Structure 1
Amino acid sequence: MNKSDLSFDQEHIWHPYTSAIKPLPCYPVIKADGVFIHLSSGEKLVDGVSSWWTAIHGYNHPLLNAALKTQVDDFSHVMFGGLTHQPAVDLCRTLIDITPMGLDRVFLADSGSVSVEVAMKMALQFWACQGNSHKHKFITPRNGYHGDTFAAMSVCDPINGMHNLFSDSLSQQIFAPAPQTRFDKPWNEDDVKPLEQLISSHHNELAALIIEPIVQNAGGMRIYHPEYLKRCRQLCDDYNILLICDEIATGFGRTGKLFACEHADISPDIMCLGKALTGGYMTLAATLCSEDVAQGVCQDEPGVFMHGPTFMGNALACAVANASLSIIQKGDWQQQVANIEQQLKEELTRCVTLETVADVRILGAIGIVETKTIVDVAKLQKEFVKQGVWIRPFGKLVYIMPPYIIKQAQLRQLTTSIYEVLNAS
């Protein structure tokens, strides 16, 4: 990429979470393979972020490449209204098989945020079709993040999240204090009492509780106790509201369980999946629900679920998702994630001794270093590139979620770089 192209990019292309006036620097990529991102300037970077937590098998994987090439010779896409195809059938069959018991219906979408919109719309229509249209609100813990579209924004943290600018335009939801008991600490019964009190007071107007199981991701990278999630399931049962688990970031092994809700041994009424579903190759998401929810949504007028993304069930995306899930089903990810977790505990934990660091949190293939003050993203990213790693901090968080295939030496390069860059900052 030449200087003219870079200049055009900076002046005309709006990248995510950056300013059109003073955009963050962008590094031009010419190739990616395994755990490496190759820049046009010659650097070879160990990817610590898996392209926003998606590329769990690494880049340029031969099995995933072959799935795309084979499918494109047949057809790349047909409308999903009135038509179906084998890649979609195979994918939905696998998702029903591997997700927690009772999730027997699959609605395919094209992004994680849309899968959340679908889940919320399902919950609202479910209650409306039972004659309970007054159940039209959602409850969720603070520090959550569920996407950037409008319904999804309404259940993101209204104060500490990234969407408070739009608060006057969003549906007003009910927010409980975030869970405080850490994953590896003794359960504190007081942790769930504020949520219980709010549900008790508002259950007549609540359609669903929506929550990120075990790990609150972009809202603060917080890891909480599984008992909190168990109590969420019980409260939903007791007060007749639906439970939506947003597994977009945590699904497919990232926390050490195939799905994070397995840490609490619960099954939601509705589950959202995305990100790693296609191994980082293409955008695809899914909203799964129980048979009761599906029947309830369609039992009264209008009698159908009025939602249909144009690229719903895209054959290329389904084909590569099937290839990705075939790798997952071999089970190697379990040892890979366990090895990553052990190494993170051995190497990343020392960051807590740094003057600038407030906390270190680790679960599965997730390593989080929280600083005491907001970091300079452009400055830190430049230093990380010099160290030969790709790490993209945000807020006070410097985190890694590497591909599962990462080797010890490559992961050590990531953990060492975090320590050295923060020590020098």
Structure 2
Amino acid sequence: MADQNQAYVDRDLSVLWHPCTQMKDHEQVPMIPIRHGHGVWLEDYAGRRYLDAISSWWVNLFGHSNPVINAALHEQLERLEHVILAGFTHEPAISLAERLLSLTPTGLARCFYADNGSSAIEVALKMSYHYWKNRGDTQKTRFITLTNSYHGETLGALALGDVAIYKQTYAPLLMDVISVPSPDCYYRDEGESWRDHTIKRFADMEAALTRHAGEICAVIIEPLVQCAGSMRMYDPIYLKLLRVACDRHHVHLIADEIAVGFGRTGTLFACEQADITPDMLCLSKGLTGGYLPLSAVLTREEIYQGFYDEYTTGKAFLHSHSYTGNALACTAALATLDIFEKQPVLERNRELAAYMGSAAARMAGHPHVAEIRQTGMILALEIVQDKRRRTAYPWQQRRGLRVYRHALENGMLLRPLGDVVYFMPPYVINSEEIDLMVDVAEQGIDLATMD
């Protein structure tokens, strides 16, 4: 069986180019071919198992090969796999839009489908800009974003981000945006609460809006957690203050809940924790339970009506994807929502999050763990060279990669963000598996910081 593993690795490396990967690394770092998944576990061709502690890039909510989603897809396969959504429609697309609009914050009234998270961001950017243009506000052409943010890797989405490793190379291709300092609570003063630090940092956003509102289409934000930005977190008060400020300055608020939606932060949607409704809500990743690519941009009726006119006015939103509203993807999403509806998912998540926080708490005293931070089912450990000064290791040393390799050797899929080790497991994980996840991470951090 081990030879079977190697055979797949050899075939892969002869033809594939993997995402977010320096392919030369695979001369030393093993490629893992997976033949089966069940629950939180993945299994390779040699029968070796790996606990999926990061939900396969944050998409898997209810475990691999979930029987509820499987059954729904089998049934839908017999009826319709896909049909063009321009001039045609189908029941799964309609039902999913209805259910999303009923579950998301009050005031969202229309659903526009796309294929993935980055595509959803592109839709929201174009929709905001085009809305203002249709109104005659042609001076509104720019966007405000936060430092340390990440919104995807297509060019529009990439321009909004501020994580250098993704953005720096392509800077000459990107539109100019206004970046406002993040409320990231990692940088709060000693003894300062998350709430107080977050309120203090909002002054930067208020100043930017006051100065630039006339040229701004929208502010875009990742509610509560900047996931690809090292899982940095902040208090919900920022969202409440931002909603008020955007209204006052006549600027759209785009909430990118692609990574944090569907229960990750403790509520179904992160915006709920501030009791706000964005003008556009971008969803993907967990939307289909980790099964198929699909995204949705939910928006207000007022914005929809800004495009509703005779064709000859040129106001139509002519954005499209070939697989928009794919019937199978919508069916997977509906089955995922069924699980939320029929099972006490959020209540159980709160219990799991509390257990995960308690299990990881022992690492607070680790000499190279500067902070343990958590929002719901997302927990992060910040590895540093000097804890007192919070001095990071040189990035070239790739300490996080050492944790990753140790985890693989011990049956665990961890994929640190630089030197930040994080847990974002499927919601079907149990306490014993959480203990294993924390144990392996702690051992990996010990090994990664020995010299």
Which stretches of structure 1, 4 residues or longer, exceed 6 Å deviation after superposition?
none
Which amino acid letter does the alignment assign opposite residue 344 of structure 2? D
- Whether the 8 Å CA contact 1:129–1:298 is kept in 2: the answer is no
Distance 2:248 2:287 in 1: 33
Which amino acid letter does the alignment assign opposite residue 210 of structure 1? I
- Whether 1:200 aligns to 2:207 is no
Q: CA deviation at 1:42?
A: 2.4
Q: What TM-score, normalized by structure 1, do the two folds share?
A: 0.96
- Whether 1:14 aligns to 2:9 is no
Residues 4-41 of structure 1: per-residue CA shift (max 9 Å, x gap): 43123124311111124444532110100011111123
Q: CA deviation at 1:356?
A: 2.3
Aligned with 2:441 (options 411, 418, 425): 418
Which of the pair is proportionally richer in helix?
Answer: 2
* Residue matched to 1:187: 196
Aligned with 1:237 (options 241, 247, 250): 247
- Whether 1:67 aligns to 2:72 is yes
- Whether 1:392 aligns to 2:392 is no
- Whether 1:348 aligns to 2:384 is no
Aligned with 1:366 (options 375, 378, 389): 378
- Whether 1:257 aligns to 2:267 is yes
Q: CA deviation at 1:181?
A: 4.2
Structure 1 residue ranges without an equivalent (≥5): none
Residues 278-310 of structure 1: per-residue CA shift (max 9 Å, x gap): 100101110000001111134583121111100
- Local SS of the residue matching 1:348: helix
Aligned with 1:246 (options 242, 256, 262): 256
- Local SS of the residue matching 2:51: strand
Distance 2:153 2:168 in 1: 12
Residues 98-145 of structure 1: per-residue CA shift (max 9 Å, x gap): 000111100011101100000000000000001112101000111111
Matches within 5 A, 1:266-281: 266-281=276-291
- Whether 1:54 aligns to 2:59 is yes
Q: CA deviation at 1:205?
A: 0.5
* Residue matched to 2:139: 134
* Residue matched to 2:126: 121
Using the TM superposition, name which of 205-214 and 345-354 deviates more: 345-354
- Whether the 8 Å CA contact 1:146–1:153 is kept in 2: the answer is yes
Kindly tell me the number of residue pairs found equivalent between the two proteins: 424
Structure 2 residue ranges without an equivalent (≥5): 385-392
Distance 1:137 1:161, change over 3 A: farther
Distance 1:26 1:143 in 2: 30
* Residue matched to 1:408: 431
Distance 1:88 1:343 in 2: 37
- Whether the 8 Å CA contact 1:344–1:362 is kept in 2: the answer is no
- Whether the 8 Å CA contact 1:337–1:404 is kept in 2: the answer is yes
Using the TM superposition, name which of 107-116 and 351-360 deviates more: 351-360
Aligned with 1:318 (options 306, 327, 330): 330
Q: CA deviation at 1:347?
A: 1.2
Which amino acid letter does the alignment assign opposite residue 50 of structure 1? S
Matches within 5 A, 1:13-162: 13-23=16-26, 25-157=30-162, 160=164, 162=166
Aligned with 2:6 (options 3, 19, 26): 3
Which amino acid letter does the alignment assign opposite residue 441 of structure 2? I
Q: CA deviation at 1:386?
A: 2.3
- Whether the 8 Å CA contact 1:124–1:207 is kept in 2: the answer is yes
Distance 1:105 1:136, change over 3 A: same
- Whether 1:169 aligns to 2:192 is no
Distance 1:20 1:363, change over 3 A: same
Distance 1:100 1:186 in 2: 23
Distance 1:124 1:213 in 2: 21
Which amino acid letter does the alignment assign opposite residue 346 of structure 1? S
Distance 2:305 2:165 in 1: 35
* Residue matched to 1:284: 294
- Whether the 8 Å CA contact 2:399–2:419 is kept in 1: the answer is no
Distance 1:40 1:371 in 2: 33
Q: CA deviation at 1:378?
A: 4.3
Aligned with 2:402 (options 335, 355, 379): 379
Which amino acid letter does the alignment assign opposite residue 10 of structure 2? S
Distance 1:200 1:364, change over 3 A: same
Distance 2:141 2:361 in 1: 44
* Residue matched to 2:226: 216
Which amino acid letter does the alignment assign opposite residue 238 of structure 1? R
Distance 1:348 1:322 in 2: 34
Distance 1:186 1:272, change over 3 A: closer
Q: CA deviation at 1:343?
A: 1.1
Distance 1:246 1:210 in 2: 7
Using the TM superposition, name which of 105-114 and 190-199 deviates more: 190-199
* Residue matched to 1:303: 315
Distance 1:20 1:46 in 2: 24
Q: CA deviation at 1:331?
A: 4.7
The alignment-based identity, stated in percent, is: 36
Residues 363-416 of structure 1: per-residue CA shift (max 9 Å, x gap): 111111111134445432221122221111121211111111111101111011
Q: What TM-score, normalized by structure 2, do the two folds share?
A: 0.91
Distance 1:321 1:248 in 2: 14
Distance 1:39 1:213 in 2: 36
